[in-house]
């Protein structure tokens, strides 16, 4: 059984918070002003202007970092005021543009703005606006960000990787653009997702922005509209398949690790068949994980355990919870696999994942998944129900049929289809066996959510607990508040990445992911959970990441995966208390401060 441990936020003297040391820069003059890593705009002190050949290239007055921040926020607020009557789409894209321009000009200021206002800006640089940006990327494109490896680069990647200007890369987010959120195949335009995820790595985990790399593997697209679009920036060919496809991913993985052997690669938004195949292919060879399968699973498991706690029930009740998962893709199957492992361990087993005899039900676009399904995807086989055990439900039963019959404690959507939890389905959840039925509409972006928060509380009742993948406002229920949780893998992947990095682990194991999920599950207090607050506010995401990262390090040490990082060796990691480990993680988080620049030839 899981012990609910909340790491103390005590400060240890062993790890002091980093004060930015000097940064070596190999350029001078305008080249520095045009480099967003080093640019400080009007913030360059006079002595630095002299040292770096900047004197005369900037207006004479030096503006403090804080004043630069205020100036940006003022222009952001004016934009908000001036766009008040415009459509939501126009406003969201305008907000993204102003942030993106800052990102392209001055990263230190950009991350200060992002970190201080994460709740307000996450919905712009991350889901849902990032989806809109990806849909319109070819038209919005102004400056490149990250690297693009295409089907035409075969045989060249080992040298191309050296085109990246940084000698140190810790964290890579890689996509092939084939399943961008719930928006489908967006080809090269999917690069917005790795960029947004890595922004969250900087904001939530304090990974140094000079050590991140967003990557697009452009192997073509099957999106006819994009192929016909004269502005489309990707390779105009159908997606590579089979061995041709895998040989491109293989070459990329070899090239990356030849240059940066310890870089962690997060696979993101790959269509299901490649998501599972690449995870199995690389996880023993490289330090990598698939966020949609593994990150999502951990967040969902934390939500499922929270739903039990919200009913005032012990976690052992997990064995009895009836859970209907709608969506049998990489995310839905990842969730079921982790949930089934938890059930197996709780009932004294080895943690082998199968739900055939458990109260879990899986539904895909063809309805309830049973052993009678022809062409059942191999990854779904362990979760197909035997119709003999179903008491009246048959292969392909609809969501409403399943919900009416099963009366689930939890209805969890990862289908990518907006509105599939319709009024009838939500009303049927009133008959749930739970005192606090849980409705998790986890698909992104907002338009693809299985239902909205208002729909859930109005049709399923005030006593539900609700979570969605993209943010919704809390719902006014008269004299109480219907709390909206954001069940998004952003609560896990930053801690998984940072914990892995700081442990120096060569691989990311199931145990490390389990530790991350359990840590998140135990983050909220009983009092909060009973109010329906299952996940923390995004405002404290650095704190969540520090704790999740520490849990990952603890598991890496326990499993003999850890090798240490920098000056902190394995022995020191192994001797750290939980509090010390949290503090160690926290003290390794990059802070957006201008560092003194020192020119080096």
Ligand X SMILES: NC(=O)c1ccc[n+]([C@@H]2O[C@H](COP(=O)([O-])OP(=O)(O)OC[C@H]3O[C@@H](n4cnc5c(N)ncnc54)[C@H](O)[C@@H]3O)[C@@H](O)[C@H]2O)c1
Ligand Y SMILES: O=C(O)C[C@H](O)C(=O)O
Catalytic residue IDs: 126, 197
Q: Which residue shows structure tokens 């982790």?
A: 338
CB of 489 to ligand X, least distance (A): 4
Binding string to ligand Y for residues 441 to 460, with x set by CB under 6 A, is what?
Answer: ---x----------------
- CA separation for the pair 125, 347 (Å, rounded): 42
Nearer to ligand X, 517 or 573 (CB): 517
Residue 455 touching Mg ion (CB under 5 A): no
Q: How far is the CB of 193 from ligand X (least distance, A)?
A: 10
Please pick, from the candidates 199, 291, 455, 583, the single residue that binds ligand Y as defined by CB under 6 A: 291
Q: Which of 488, 500, 545, 581 binds ligand Y (CB under 6 A)?
A: 488
What ranges in 229-295 are assigned the alpha helix state H? 242-259, 272-282
- Strand, helix or coil at 353? coil
Residue closer to ligand Y (CB basis): 185 or 269? 269
Q: Is 127 in the site for ligand Y (CB under 6 A)?
A: yes
Could you tell which of Mg ion, ligand X, ligand Y, none binds residue 321, using a CB distance below 5 to 8 A set by kind?
none
In angstroms, the CA 162 to CA 173 distance is 17
What 8-state DSSP symbol labels residue 43? G
- DSSP secondary structure code for residue 449 in this structure: S
Q: Which is nearer to ligand Y, 132 or 315 (CB)?
A: 132
Is residue 324 within 8 A of residue 412, CB to CB? The reply is: yes
CA–CA gap between residue 196 and residue 124 (Å, rounded): 9
Q: Least distance in Å: CB of 569 to ligand Y?
A: 34
CA 260, 262, 268 angle in degrees (round to 5)?
90
Q: Which of 338, 379, 414, 573 binds ligand X (CB under 6 A)?
A: 414
Nearer to ligand Y, 195 or 556 (CB): 195
Dihedral, CA atoms, 560, 562, 567, 572, nearest 10 degrees? Answer: -50
Q: Is 170 in the site for Mg ion (CB under 5 A)?
A: no
* Closer residue to Mg ion (CB): 113 or 442: 442
Does residue 509 have a cis bond before it (omega within 30 degrees)?
no
Q: Is 438 in the site for ligand X (CB under 6 A)?
A: no
Q: Which is nearer to ligand X, 416 or 461 (CB)?
A: 416
Q: Is 473 annotated as ligand-binding?
A: no
CA distance 342 to 360: 13
Query: What is the per-residue binding string for Mg ion in 274-313, x denoting contact by CB under 5 A?
Result: ------------------x---------------------
Residue 310 C-alpha from the chain's centroid: 25
Query: Which residues 142-201 are close enough to bind ligand X by CB under 6 A?
Result: 179, 181-182
Q: Nearer to Mg ion by C-beta: 276 or 457?
A: 276
Determine, following the binding rule CB under 5 A, whether residue 48 of this chain makes contact with Mg ion.
no
Question: Does 107 participate in binding ligand Y (rule CB under 6 A)?
Answer: no
Strands (E), 246-338: 264-267, 288-290, 323-326
Residue among 332, 306, 333, 334 nearest 321 (CA)? 306
**Residue nearest to ligand X as judged by C-beta position:** 329
Instruction: Indicate which of ligand Y, Mg ion, ligand X, none lies near residue 272 (CB less than 5 to 8 Å, by partner kind).
Output: ligand X
Q: Is 357 a known ligand-binding residue?
A: no
| Residue tagged 């080249």 (tokens) | 31
Is residue 417 at the binding interface for ligand X, with CB under 6 A as the rule?
yes
| CA–CA distance, 422 with 33 (Å, rounded to integer) | 53
- Give residue 106's region: left, alpha or beta (phi > 0; psi -120 to 50): beta
344 forms part of the interface with ligand X (CB under 6 A): no
Instruction: Tell me: is residue 104 an annotated ligand-binding position.
Output: no
Q: Does 178 bind ligand Y (CB under 6 A)?
A: no
Note whether 363 binds ligand X by CB under 6 A. Answer: yes
Interface size with ligand X, residues (CB under 6 A): 30
Cβ-based burial of 476 (10 A; exposed 0-12, middle 13-18, buried ≥19) = exposed
Residues 489, 503, 545, 581: which binds ligand Y (CB under 6 A)?
489
Q: Where does 87-221 have alpha helices with state H? A: 88-105, 107-116, 118-125, 129-135, 137-140, 157-160, 192-205
CB of 347 to ligand X, least distance (A): 27
- Kindly give, in sequence order, each residue whose CB lies less than 8 Å from that of residue 482, ignoring residues fewer than 6 positions away: 453, 457, 462, 464, 466, 474, 475, 476, 532
Token pair recorded at residue 13: 């003297």
Q: In 3D, which of 394, 477, 461 has the Cα closest to residue 426? A: 461
Residues 6+ apart with CB under 8 A from 66: none
Q: Residue 363 in contact with residue 399, Cβ under 8 Å?
A: yes
Is the CB of 363 or the CB of 585 nearer to ligand X?
363
Helix (H) / strand (E) element for 581: namely helix 578-587
Residue 489 labeled ligand binder = no
CB of 92 closer than 8 Å to CB of 132 = yes
Interacting residue with ligand X among 207, 326, 406, 505 (CB under 6 A): 326
- Nearest-approach distance from CB 411 to Mg ion, in angstroms: 21
Which listed option, ligand Y, Mg ion, ligand X, none, makes contact with residue 417 (CB within 5 to 8 Å by class)? ligand X
362's enclosing H/E stretch is strand 360-364
Among 269, 450, 455, 583, binds Mg ion (CB under 5 A): 269
Contacting positions for Mg ion (CB under 5 A): 268-269, 292
> Residues forming the annotated binding site for a divalent metal cation?
268-269, 292
Contacting positions for ligand Y (CB under 6 A): 126-127, 181, 269, 291-292, 444, 469, 488-489
> Residues forming the annotated binding site?
179, 268-269, 292, 444, 488
Contacting positions for ligand X (CB under 6 A): 179, 181-182, 272, 292, 296, 299, 326-332, 363-365, 414-417, 420, 442-444, 448, 469, 487-489
């Amino acid at each position: 059984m899981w012990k609910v441990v909340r790491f103390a936020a005590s400060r240890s003297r062993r790890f002091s918070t980093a004060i930015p040391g000097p940064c070596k820069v190999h350029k001078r003059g305008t080249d520095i002003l045009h480099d967003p890593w080093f640019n400080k705009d009007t913030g360059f002190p006079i002595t630095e202007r002299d040292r770096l050949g900047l004197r005369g290239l900037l207006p004479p007055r030096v503006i403090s970092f804080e004043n630069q921040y205020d100036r940006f926020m003022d222009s952001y607020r004016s934009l908000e005021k001036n766009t008040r009557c415009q459509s939501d789409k126009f406003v969201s894209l305008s907000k993204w543009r102003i942030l993106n321009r800052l990102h392209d000009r001055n990263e230190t200021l950009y991350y200060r703005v992002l970190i201080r206002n994460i709740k307000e800006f996450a919905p712009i640089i991350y889901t849902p606006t990032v989806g809109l940006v990806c849909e319109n990327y070819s038209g919005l494109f102004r400056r490149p960000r990250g690297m693009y490896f295409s089907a035409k680069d075969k045989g060249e990647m080992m040298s191309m990787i050296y085109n990246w200007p940084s000698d140190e890369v810790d964290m890579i987010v890689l996509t092939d653009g084939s399943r961008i959120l719930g928006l489908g195949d967006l080809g090269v335009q999917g690069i917005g997702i790795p960029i947004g995820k890595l922004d969250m790595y900087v904001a939530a985990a304090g990974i140094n922005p000079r050590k991140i790399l967003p990557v697009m593997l452009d192997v073509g697209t099957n999106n006819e509209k994009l192929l016909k679009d004269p502005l489309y920036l990707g390779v105009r060919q159908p997606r590579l398949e089979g061995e041709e496809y895998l040989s491109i991913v293989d070459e990329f993985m070899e090239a990356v690790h030849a240059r940066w052997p310890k870089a962690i690669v997060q696979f993101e938004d790959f269509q299901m068949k490649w998501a599972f195949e690449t995870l199995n292919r690389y996880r023993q060879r490289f330090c990598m994980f698939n966020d949609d399968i593994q990150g999502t699973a951990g967040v969902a498991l934390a939500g499922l355990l929270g739903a039990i706690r919200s009913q005032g029930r012990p976690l052992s009740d997990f064995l009895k919870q009836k859970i209907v998962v709608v969506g049998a893709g990489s995310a839905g199957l990842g969730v079921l696999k982790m949930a089934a492992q938890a059930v197996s361990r709780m009932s004294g087993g080895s943690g082998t994942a199968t739900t055939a005899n458990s109260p879990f039900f899986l539904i895909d676009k063809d309805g309830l998944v049973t052993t009678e399904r022809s062409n059942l995807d191999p990854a779904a086989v362990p979760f197909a129900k035997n119709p003999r055990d179903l008491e009246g439900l048959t292969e392909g039963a609809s969501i409403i049929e399943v919900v009416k019959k099963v009366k689930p404690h939890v209805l969890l959507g990862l289908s990518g289809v907006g509105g599939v939890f319709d009024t009838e389905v939500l009303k049927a959840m009133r008959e749930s066996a739970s005192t606090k039925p849980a409705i998790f509409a986890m698909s992104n972006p907002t338009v693809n959510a299985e239902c909205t928060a208002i729909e859930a509380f109005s049709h399923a009742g005030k006593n539900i607990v609700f979570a969605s993948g993209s943010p919704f406002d809390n719902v006014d229920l008269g004299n109480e508040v219907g709390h909206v949780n954001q069940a998004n893998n952003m609560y896990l992947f930053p801690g998984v990445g940072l914990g892995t990095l700081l442990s120096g682990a060569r691989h990311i194991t199931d145990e490390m992911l389990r530790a991350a999920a359990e840590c998140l599950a135990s983050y909220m207090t009983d009092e909060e959970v009973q109010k329906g607050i299952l996940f923390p506010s995004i405002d404290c995401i650095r704190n969540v990441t520090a704790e999740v990262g520490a849990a990952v390090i603890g598991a890496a040490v326990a499993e003999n995966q850890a090798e240490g990082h920098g000056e902190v060796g394995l022995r020191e990691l192994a001797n750290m208390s939980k509090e010390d480990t949290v503090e160690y993680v926290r003290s390794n988080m990059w802070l957006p401060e201008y560092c003194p620049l020192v020119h080096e030839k």
